[in-house]
Amino acid sequence: MKQLIKRIFNKDASEDPKTSQNHHAPNPERTPYELIGGDKGALALANRFYDVMESDPYAKPLYDMHPLPLDRIRQVFFEFLSGWLGGPDLFVEKYGHPRLRMRHMPFTINQDLRDQWMYCMDKALDAEIDNPLLREGLRKSLAQLATHMINQD
């Protein structure tokens, strides 16, 4: 987890959060999961992401790839986000290691779909994450993750 936090925020995790100007930045004692409000925040982020996907015409091709209704996939995404953000590893407990790229290989994911995914995530982050440092750090890390999912030109 410490490495994830350092990578996301490119900060020295040993910095004393009480004396830092960025005292609301993730550190080994306060994970992104805790900073967004735990389960409630992770669930809100997952739901907002799918709300945008469902309602925004730009994301229709991405939406069309998902099985309906979206209830199950919303829950699975929340479980993934919980562990990815530093909270309970709900996804791993239920399904094993995420192996995201392998799990997404059956689907054609190109730059356009990656951009649609990030469009939905950007809107969700803007709506749900108040802390600018946290929001931008998550945006950067999720963009890298989304790019990693591309499996076709």
Give me the long-range contacts of 74-80 (CB less than 8 A, separation at least 24).
74/46, 74/47, 74/50, 77/46, 77/49, 77/50, 78/42, 78/43, 78/46, 78/47
On whether residue 3 sits in a domain, the answer given is no
CATH of the domain at 132: 1.10.490.10
Return the pLDDT at 15: 44
pLDDT at 135 over 50: yes
Return the pLDDT at 3: 52
153 vs 18: which has the higher pLDDT = 153
- Residue 74 domain boundaries: 32-149
On whether residue 18 sits in a domain, the answer given is no
On whether residue 26 sits in a domain, the answer given is no
What pLDDT digit, counting tens, does each position of 15-36 carry?
444 333 344 677 767 999 999 9
On whether residue 25 sits in a domain, the answer given is no
Tell me what percent of the residues of the chain surpass a pLDDT of 90.
Answer: 80
pLDDT at 6 over 80: no
What pLDDT digit, counting tens, does each position of 65-114 carry?
999 999 999 999 999 999 999 999 999 999 999 999 999 999 999 999 99
On whether residue 45 sits in a domain, the answer given is yes
Domain count of the fold of the chain: 1
